[in-house]
Structure 1
Amino acid sequence: MKRNTEFVLGLLGGIFGFIAAVFALFMGSIDEAINGSSSLGSLGVSAILASIVAIVGSVVVKFKPKVGGIIMLVAGIWGIISVSFFYILSTVLLVIAGLMGLLVKNKNAKKSNKTIEV
């Protein structure tokens, strides 16, 4: 049940994603003030939702690594589609954590399969 690396990477990805989404909202409001309309604000809201999903995925990876890994991968791709450049660092962290959740085997599972011969 350790999975601390995946948890920390996913949590950092979610936090940095939240910061990037707030920055995208800020840039969208500036663009709306100058040009009259902007879609960056609604995409920033979408990125905030992706960041929340990423944080949920980082918690889930402690108990169900494969499900948490898939959730973090989806959140990383969702965020990069939403606000592109602003979400790059978060996407890298979330994809690494998601792949680790999917691919790294649990050490306790290997130990429990061994039989003891006397």
Structure 2
Amino acid sequence: MAAIDDKIQATKFVISTNKSFEEIRALGLSAAAAASGSITKVHETDVTTNELIQYNIKRLGMVEVLNFGLLFTQSSDGENSLILVPGNYLTSQATLLVFIPIGAKDAAGYPPLKKLSDHIQAALS
């Protein structure tokens, strides 16, 4: 089983598309809604017009467990690029007697990020 760091990096993608920034933003919002669950929610946090959409994933509405962005670049020939860039994330690991780690590290933000990444890639391919 791959380490959590490798799994999160595997959600990164670069896709060429003819969609506009606003279409990508709408797709990101629908993917965020689809990736949100009862405990973890995906939120759009900031938008730099025609360039960057930033998101975070919060657990129980309070603790930010992961953040990431969708970077949009326009080209003159109409083929635009979209890049998903994972950012910072919190990991957890079970322990024995408070300080002896057992099992693999996990990240609460990974499942929603994976679901969002898959949703966007499927919609654009």
Q: Which has the higher strand share?
A: 2
Q: Which has the higher helix share?
A: 1
TM-score, with structure 1 as normaliser: 0.33
The structure, 1 or 2, with the larger RCO (C-alpha pairs under 8 Å, 6+ apart) is 1
Between Structure 1 and Structure 2, whose CA radius of gyration is higher? 1
